[in-house]
Structure 1
Amino acid sequence: PKPTTKSKKQTQLSFLLGGTGRSSPSLSLSDGPPYANGNLHLGHIVNRVTKDIFIRQAEVQEREREGGARARQGQVEARPFLPGWDCHGLPIEQKALAAVQQEGDASARSSAAASRPDPMTIREIAASFARQAIARQADTLAALNIRASLPTTISNGTTPAYYSTMDPAYEGQVLGLLADCVAHGNLYRATRPIHWSPSSRTVLAEAELEYADKTDKSIWFLVPLVDDDGKADGAVTGGPGEHMLVWTTTPWTIPANVAIAVSPDLEYTTVRVTTSTGACVSAWVALDALDRLTNDDLPTAVQRQPDAPRCAGTALVGRVYQHPWPESEAAKDVLRVISADFVSASAGSGAVHCAPAHGADDAAACRAAAAPPGADVLLDDGSLRPYVGPTLAGRYCWTVEPTVTEGLADLHVATIPIRHSVPIDWRTKMPVVTRATAQWFLRVHKEQALAALDDVTFSPRSGRTRLASFLQTRGDWCISRQRSWGIPIPVFADPAADGRLVLDESIIRYAAQLIGERGSDVWWTTEDDDDLLPPDFRGRGLRRQWGTLD
């Protein structure tokens, strides 16, 4: 509830004069800032109250040191706490999309056009939502008499009373920093597996993931080992029809398979496997997985073989196998068993199905083994591309397990429900997939970052250990997003060079100046691409790209 003993104007006056004292010019405190999405919650209140206590305590100490001289002279220093609001990003865009859909009738909402409205429509609604949220949150802070937390047009000299990340000046500064990164060679484009939300149609950062328990169907299946001519290979055991027994919790990735990985540190043996169609074949599994397979996971499908041959995992490396999904374009490649350190016998069979476009470990192992790079088999909405073949193309990835089971035919061993923790989109609560897409990455120089910690005073000291641990495991930062509500990445495609992307410091600095004066909407409202380019780049037919910054 708002206080009844102090009017809003009195609260604003307290804010402008600095409350109980004057600000120390040597003190400054950075604001998070909170997200301009809805009302403040308890976490925001704790954040702001803690900062307020810190500032007031520091000012009291300053007055005591100086004997109150400044207070007696009536000096007003620059405020030490500049509040701010984070206004861009997916949560607000999701609200804007929902508002657009609510305005249409049921038939319009079900159309493709309604699902992807005009970017400027989204941006205008999103900006309005952000402004409203700032006003509501500021009213709450005013009621609490939090110092330096009211958005107002009054400023102390040239210092604004607050900032937001959608201010043109702020947006221009962000792009200026991006240009600095380009100048130092720290921005690059790469295709690598990342977290992708089909429901939001964008890449997600680790911080945008939640985890939920989910029951999925895991599939046990066989891949036939063949010789270089594609014939059934029994070279190791002297018997016909050798296979590898493998397992996956994502059946939709089977068409993306380009390698089977084994461990160089495990010993392997053959077992007799009965498929779901009744066929009996011999298959390789890790010796350490044998008890679990025959007693727990597949007791009716897997039987030990008397005097079964054994070999090191390295002896299986290089063996050629036949793709389990012949419709897939990946079946055109020569596929081999590879070695990977991440393979263990604690789950599965000790032989891992690798789809490098849909798993970071798979990608690293296939790259090290010079295996085919594979391909991303998904579209942005989670449906399967024609690459997988006509049986699955166009289907949503999480619904194809029954069709995959049927299509594997004699290679299918078992389908078993599994309860496990999976990543979900923090906003939509829908499943997240891993897919290899081309994104912009910022190099994270771990050694320099860790060395910089020596110049930071931590309170409590344990904070240093936590931050150092985070930096040690931090990968390069994926800064690109496939959304409309954000600051654009000023990159252009060159049609004369087969669409090669032009990343240039001068282009970004020009955009920084333009957006700093007119706001980031100019990227979407300017008709002629040349008007977004510095003079030296005009007249070449360059086409702006539409990605935004994280």
Structure 2
Amino acid sequence: MCADTPETLDYKDTLNLPKTDFPMRAGLPKREPDWLARWEKIGVYDRLREKEGRTPFTLHDGPPYANGHLHIGHALNKTIKDMIVRSHQMMGFDARYIPGWDCHGLPIEWKIEEQYRKKGKSKDDVPINEFRGECRAFAAEWVDIQREEFKRLGVTGNWADPYLTMDFHAERVIAEEFMKFLMNGTLYQGSKPVMWSPIEQTALAEAEVEYHDKESFTVWVKFKVVGGGDLEGAKVVIWTTTPWTMPSNKAVVYGENISYGLYEVTGTPDECWASVGDRYLLADNLAADVFGRARLEEGQWTRLRDVTADELASLSLKHPLAGAEGSNGEWDDLRDFRAADFVTDDEGTGFVHCAPSHGMEEYELYRDLGMLSEVITYNVTDDGSFRKDLPFFGGKYILSRKGGEGDANTAVINKLVEVDGLLARGKIKHSYPHSWRSKAPVIYRNTPQWFVAIDRKMKIGDDEFTIRERALREIDLVNWTPKSGRNRLHSMMEARPDWVLSRQRAWGVPLTCFTKKGALPTDEDFLLRNPEVNARVVAAFEEEGADCWYEEGAKERFLSGIVDPEAYDQVTDILDVWFDSGSTHAFTLRDRPDGTEDGIADVYMEGTDQHRGWFHSSLLQSVGTTGHAPYRNVVTHGFTLDAKGLKMSKSIGNTIVPEKIVQQYGADILRLWVAQTDYTADQRIGDEILKGVADSYRRLRNTMRYMLGALSDFTEADRVEPADMPELERWVLHRVAELDKVVRDGYTRFDFQGVFQAVFTFATVDLSAFYFDIRKDALYCDGNTLRRRAARTVLDILFHRLTTWLAPALVFTMEEVWLERFPGEDSSVHLVDMPETPGAWLDANLAAKWAMVRAARRVVTSALEVQRVEKVIGASLEAAPIVYVADADQRAALESVSFEDVSITSDITVSGDPAPEDAFRMPEIDGVAVTFVKASGEKCARCWKVLPDVGTHAHPGVCNRCDEAVSEIG
């Protein structure tokens, strides 16, 4: 027995306290750039490419526009891509990522024109290649800026050699891919209504349009009936929200299965454009609404009789402007009047005004009837104004030069009032297409454009198909994440019209084709299809870029010696930029040494809007040139909203810039937000959300810091084989094996939220709150025991898994953790793979047993917490509770382990006796109850357990275990 008391001795230096310099405060904003510089110095991306024998895995980058700083959507997009690439690399693939940029097109051209306008300069006064050169320089500058912004987010890739659609080789391939449509017979020139931007003076694709609310004029217009017996002189009423299309009206259509009636006005209010005795033909379901719009009250009109479809078929109509003084006969021809499938009686009047130059349904109706030449007009010019010689309306603008309401609608309405052609007028707020660049409304306008026919048979080798047929087949061969992406693209592809390829702009790859002078677009020899000419053009593009198409004498250069240049006209329209980006698989995947052998990407990943954009155009382009889709997997993310769920907008002031998040929190917090988010739906982000992410980050960081401290001097000599480990350690290995499958399956399915939630729960619940809590005593206080060595072996196993499992998301933090343990000039967590985890670690029986142990532990710890709150004890080591367990198997499980260590008490008694009435119970855990008993003995000065043997050993004031440990230290 020693005379010294525990209070007189300090055993701190004999404890195995954790040792680490790893800081709890991350300081990410300041420290992350150092890791970026380090990765660049040691060439991490290139060194990964040197690993041999790996299966290639390629994510093909959907190119952002090179025309401005990154927004939060860019950050989400690139982070998801980076996690896909990094996770597959660490699962054993050769995961390649070639960043790319879309450099042509209106977004950049528009910026240069804005600069011109500020200087009072006109694009038309500048030589085209000088203008294109300014666009090229502008794009190159923003590529460099965006590249650094993407790298700052921790995104890995071949940043030294990205793909750019304006590179000479890319421009050559884009032209070459276009020529495949030229040669396979699907390219044609047609004149049909397309979405047209009067502000930008170019056709737009659906993907270049966004929908916003717009207030429009709405009018009810009267067409006088000609012929038809007692219907002579009655008026058919149409309704339209585009009064400006009335000068282009060529017909009115009705529905064969709609119930129509002849109505007569019997009374009128003071102000009204109807008169007593007027007769109107209207759909019965809509008549009351129409008369209400005309300010007639119930009882001021009456239904005279039914009007059958056969009667309607016998009628002709007069345009309301027919015979108007000064009209010069412009509208005197009778309007066509026939049935059409698209007419309904849901709204309007039951009759539809047709201006086939400004509406696709009307256009397709008269195209199928073979009557286009009779109904197509060219009343609207490129700038959205009426042709100068159009009576009454010449020079009037549909939109103002700034994109607001022009003077055309008002002029048309006023004229209709003047000629008694109007029954009612009003305004309506509705969703309307706008250019996503100028933000101005667009119109449908008939113009000559170049199209790819997607329902025309074509051949690749011996394989004959239409683009639509093949695209629909390929969609079902692709894996879609989420699955709804398949249905969305499939329905779009089923219903889409022919592909409009041409744009009337300057900055882009030209449509490299020639048309025969004097020939009609329908003539067989209208397009020059000459392989020798094509080869000459693409060779020039490879050496000089697409600018050579616009050089003086280009036509002669490309045609001389092959065909007569004077016999052909050179097309100067540029290709839709969606054709550019849709072709990127050809010059990136197919042509580059770091591309793919078959030219197909493993993954395309973009926002949900790209079902009508890049996913769509890439599929059309690839199917039309190769016969197959360019991707095996398509992953889609939603839009980023503010914390309230509102769309981000500069005008609202709720935008969040990635740069500011990085400056305040660090890129890893932004990346962790992405990993925690269900990216397949719309996501929210805001200060409170980011604070929650930062809290999750701190908890993970604390877990990693704990392991680093406990492993500070771990060596291979400490390693214990799993078979020799205590049950608790083998249970942890079982959980590791379970989780390894979850992680790999999740990363394979691009389910980052699922991976992170599983790893985070494991780290914070299974490890920090359970395993670490229990084994802290052994790690700190044991000598060189099997238990301590086994625990440290497990910590080493956990370290290698957690760092690699989390590295795809927390690229900076896991590198910091790795280097803290494995410093070295060439060391990096991003150069290693996720360790293979033996399936033999799985032990379902052991897991079931420890589930019973953990359930009982919860009751014990909750019971002791009551005592601690009531200040009966200060710590759980002051307790030696009695645990009453009704189930024999659970009781045996507790008795077979050191349940006092599991419960972090100094002693514990497991009993099969009935529990006292006042015992502590938890309703969710049946059959376990606890009564509190204070531990007997003295408090060990070293481990703080309260045990009867304290003070009976060689070293004063300690228990037997601590006495042996101190003796071992010497």
Q: Which TM class, normalised by the smaller chain length?
A: 0.7 to 0.9
User: 2:469 & 2:57 partners in 1: Cα distance?
Assistant: 30
The match for 1:157 is none
Deviation, 1:293, is 2.3
The answer to whether the 8 A contact 1:276-1:412 is kept is no
The match for 2:407 is 399
Q: 1:343 to 1:540 in 2, by over 3 A?
A: same
User: 1:59 & 1:278 partners in 2: Cα distance?
Assistant: 75
Q: Name the SS for the 2:89 alignment partner.
A: helix
User: 1:542 & 1:102 partners in 2: Cα distance?
Assistant: 39
The answer to whether the 8 A contact 1:492-1:543 is kept is yes
The answer to whether the 8 A contact 1:392-1:400 is kept is yes
Deviation, 1:498, is 7.7
The match for 1:264 is 256
Where in structure 2 are the equivalents of 1:305-324 lying within 5 Å?
Answer: 305-306=301-302, 308-324=304-320
Deviation, 1:32, is 0.9
The match for 1:180 is 180
The match for 1:525 is 551
Q: Name the SS for the 2:444 alignment partner.
A: strand
Structure-1-length-normalised TM-score: 0.85
1:483-539 Cα distance to aligned partner (Å, 9 max, x none): 100000022344454898534243344322211221011112233521132631244
Moved more, 323-332 or 48-57: 323-332
The match for 2:118 is 102
The match for 1:148 is 157
Deviation, 1:315, is 2.0
User: 2:353 & 2:363 partners in 1: Cα distance?
Assistant: 12
The match for 1:73 is none
1:70-117 Cα distance to aligned partner (Å, 9 max, x none): xxxxxxx7x72222111111101100111122223xxxx5xxx55675
Where in structure 2 are the equivalents of 1:55-454 lying within 5 Å?
Answer: 55-62=85-92, 80-104=96-120, 113=122, 117-150=126-159, 152=160, 161-227=161-227, 235-237=229-231, 241-272=233-264, 276=272, 279-280=275-276, 281-294=278-291, 296-300=292-296, 305-306=301-302, 308-326=304-322, 327=327, 331-368=331-368, 372-386=374-388, 388-389=390-391, 391-397=392-398, 398-408=406-416, 409-444=419-454, 445-454=467-476
Deviation, 1:170, is 0.8
Q: 1:195 to 1:314 in 2, by over 3 A?
A: farther
Q: Name the SS for the 1:463 alignment partner.
A: helix
The answer to whether the 8 A contact 2:253-2:337 is kept is yes
Q: Is 1:51 aligned to residue 81 of structure 2?
A: yes
Deviation, 1:271, is 2.1
The answer to whether the 8 A contact 1:196-1:204 is kept is yes
Q: Name the SS for the 2:447 alignment partner.
A: strand
User: 1:319 & 1:25 partners in 2: Cα distance?
Assistant: 71
Deviation, 1:199, is 0.4
Q: Name the SS for the 1:310 alignment partner.
A: strand
User: 1:53 & 1:277 partners in 2: Cα distance?
Assistant: 66
Q: 1:248 to 1:496 in 2, by over 3 A?
A: closer
> For the pair shown, which has the larger CA radius of gyration, 1 or 2?
2
Letter in 2 for 1:376: Y
Q: 1:164 to 1:349 in 2, by over 3 A?
A: same
Q: Name the SS for the 1:356 alignment partner.
A: coil
Q: Name the SS for the 1:29 alignment partner.
A: strand
The answer to whether the 8 A contact 2:318-2:333 is kept is no
1:380-399 Cα distance to aligned partner (Å, 9 max, x none): 0000014632x101110242
Deviation, 1:187, is 1.4
Structure-2-length-normalised TM-score: 0.50
Q: 1:455 to 1:505 in 2, by over 3 A?
A: farther
The answer to whether the 8 A contact 1:81-1:148 is kept is yes
User: 1:235 & 1:133 partners in 2: Cα distance?
Assistant: 70
Deviation, 1:329, is 6.3
Letter in 2 for 1:403: A
1:441-461 Cα distance to aligned partner (Å, 9 max, x none): 123322211222343334444
User: 2:451 & 2:509 partners in 1: Cα distance?
Assistant: 16
Q: Name the SS for the 2:97 alignment partner.
A: coil
Which of 52, 56, 64 is the equivalent residue of 1:26? 56
User: 1:300 & 1:115 partners in 2: Cα distance?
Assistant: 54
Q: Name the SS for the 1:405 alignment partner.
A: helix
Q: Name the SS for the 1:288 alignment partner.
A: coil
Structure 1 residue runs of 5 or longer lacking an equivalent are 64-76, 153-160, 228-233
Q: 1:298 to 1:269 in 2, by over 3 A?
A: same
Q: 1:15 to 1:469 in 2, by over 3 A?
A: farther
Letter in 2 for 1:133: W
Q: Name the SS for the 1:413 alignment partner.
A: strand
Q: 1:272 to 1:369 in 2, by over 3 A?
A: farther
Q: 1:331 to 1:509 in 2, by over 3 A?
A: farther
User: 2:293 & 2:541 partners in 1: Cα distance?
Assistant: 59
1:216-275 Cα distance to aligned partner (Å, 9 max, x none): 221222111124xxxxxx6144xx522111221111111111111111011211223579
Q: Name the SS for the 2:562 alignment partner.
A: helix
Structure 2 residue runs of 5 or longer lacking an equivalent are 1-28, 399-405, 455-466, 577-970
Q: 1:276 to 1:364 in 2, by over 3 A?
A: farther
Letter in 1 for 2:478: V
Q: Name the SS for the 1:357 alignment partner.
A: coil
User: 1:460 & 1:285 partners in 2: Cα distance?
Assistant: 47
The match for 2:491 is 469
Where in structure 2 are the equivalents of 1:470-549 lying within 5 Å?
Answer: 470-495=492-517, 497=519, 502-506=527-531, 507-533=533-559, 535-549=561-575
User: 2:261 & 2:518 partners in 1: Cα distance?
Assistant: 56
Letter in 1 for 2:264: R
The answer to whether the 8 A contact 2:264-2:279 is kept is yes
Q: Name the SS for the 1:80 alignment partner.
A: strand
Letter in 2 for 1:29: L
Q: 1:267 to 1:145 in 2, by over 3 A?
A: closer
Letter in 2 for 1:38: G
The match for 1:230 is none
User: 2:58 & 2:36 partners in 1: Cα distance?
Assistant: 28
Deviation, 1:402, is 2.9
User: 2:474 & 2:442 partners in 1: Cα distance?
Assistant: 35
Q: Is 1:455 aligned to residue 477 of structure 2?
A: yes
The match for 2:67 is 37
Deviation, 1:421, is 1.6
Q: Name the SS for the 1:132 alignment partner.
A: helix
Q: 1:379 to 1:492 in 2, by over 3 A?
A: same
Deviation, 1:20, is 10
User: 1:246 & 1:523 partners in 2: Cα distance?
Assistant: 48
Q: Relative contact order (alpha carbons < 8 A, sep ≥ 6): 1 or 2 greater?
A: 1
Deviation, 1:139, is 1.1
The answer to whether the 8 A contact 1:270-1:305 is kept is no
The answer to whether the 8 A contact 1:268-1:312 is kept is yes
The answer to whether the 8 A contact 1:83-1:149 is kept is yes
Deviation, 1:286, is 0.9
Q: 1:437 to 1:539 in 2, by over 3 A?
A: closer
Q: 1:284 to 1:496 in 2, by over 3 A?
A: closer
Letter in 2 for 1:378: V
- Please state which structure has a larger fraction of its residues in helix: 2
Q: Name the SS for the 2:475 alignment partner.
A: helix
